[in-house]
Amino acid sequence: MMVNQISHGRFFGKTAIVTGAGSGIGRAAAIRLAREGAKVALFDLINESTQKTENFINNVSNGVSKAFDVDVSDPVRMEKAVSETADLFGGIDIVFANAGINGTLAPIDEMSLEEWEKTLRINLNGTFLTVKLTVPYMKERGGGSIIITSSINGNDRYSGFGMSAYSTTKAGQVAFAKMTALELAKYKIRVNTICPGSISTNIESSTEISDELEEIIIPVEYPEGSQPLADGPGQPRHVADLVAFLASHEAAHITGARIVIDGAESLL
């Protein structure tokens, strides 16, 4: 039995779904939304890691969350988890479509169709399903806020060797967000993308790199000062602040926007 001890905050009375909530940006955003009163459904593949986020929110932050072991690219499991969230928490107001992978980094003539499709399936199909399945619940609520994690890669910068699949998905998410923002405006559902630069998370550790690329790959460690504003990579909490703003009433007139959050990295 969960007891909501937080009874105030910008998101009190709201329900949020955060995908990729087991780690990095998603975890930071889930904690931030819960601290401001939202009940948060944590969608991620890695249940153990997601349970750590759940445990932190429920037992340390005095918030309310529930972990769902779900692959965002699996339509059956997604539909079930979304509907369980709405039943449990009484609707859906905020959706942070954030789960994503770098996928395989390989030169284009070395990349297999399977590797290409896997990145598209998780990053693009996952975003599509997250939005498609939650929109009916936000329509019922008379509005909502959808935030999609894209990247400066594929939008502001094209310097990552072997990142053709990843960058394609990140550019595609922006087009998807703009089209759906227009389509959903009459329902007061806002759709925005955020484009982080390098953020200190686990994403590099899940990246597969082809042997050939290993020899010419960009350094795994970002050089100090790679973000002029931060002396290194940004932190998940920086992105969580932006997510909370876009989810809030203060962003009530912002939709279809693409917001770069990279400490000027893409300007170098």
Shortest spacing between CB 204 and ligand NAD, in angstroms: 8
Q: Which is nearer to ligand NAD, 6 or 153 (CB)?
A: 153
Dihedrals phi, psi of 15, to nearest 5 degrees: -115, 135
| Whole-number Å distance between alpha carbons of 252 and 246 | 8
| Whole-number Å distance between alpha carbons of 209 and 144 | 38
Which residues sit opposite 208 in a β-bridge? 104
Shortest spacing between CB 45 and ligand NAD, in angstroms: 4
Determine, following the binding rule CB under 6 A, whether residue 20 of this chain makes contact with ligand NAD. Answer: yes
| Whole-number Å distance between alpha carbons of 196 and 131 | 20
* CA dist 73 → 83, 241, 258 (Å): 16, 27, 23
Determine, following the binding rule CB under 6 A, whether residue 22 of this chain makes contact with ligand NAD. Answer: yes
Q: Which is nearer to ligand NAD, 6 or 19 (CB)?
A: 19
Interface residue with ligand NAD, options 17, 26, 31, 242 (CB under 6 A)? 26
- Concerning whether 166 is annotated as a catalytic residue, the answer is yes
Number of residues in contact with ligand NAD, rule: CB under 6 A? 30
Determine, following the binding rule CB under 6 A, whether residue 99 of this chain makes contact with ligand NAD. Answer: yes
Binding track over 79-98 against ligand NAD, x by CB under 6 A: -------------------x
Shortest spacing between CB 143 and ligand NAD, in angstroms: 25
Determine, following the binding rule CB under 6 A, whether residue 40 of this chain makes contact with ligand NAD. Answer: no
Determine, following the binding rule CB under 6 A, whether residue 23 of this chain makes contact with ligand NAD. Answer: yes
CA nearest to 68, candidates 14, 116, 20: 20
Site for ligand NAD in 185-224 (CB under 6 A): 196, 198-199, 201-203, 206
Cβ-contact 267, 167 below 8 angstroms:
no
Choose, from 137, 158, 166, 222, the residue flagged as catalytic: 166
| Whole-number Å distance between alpha carbons of 6 and 132 | 30
Cβ-contact 82, 131 below 8 angstroms:
no
- What residues are labeled active site? 166
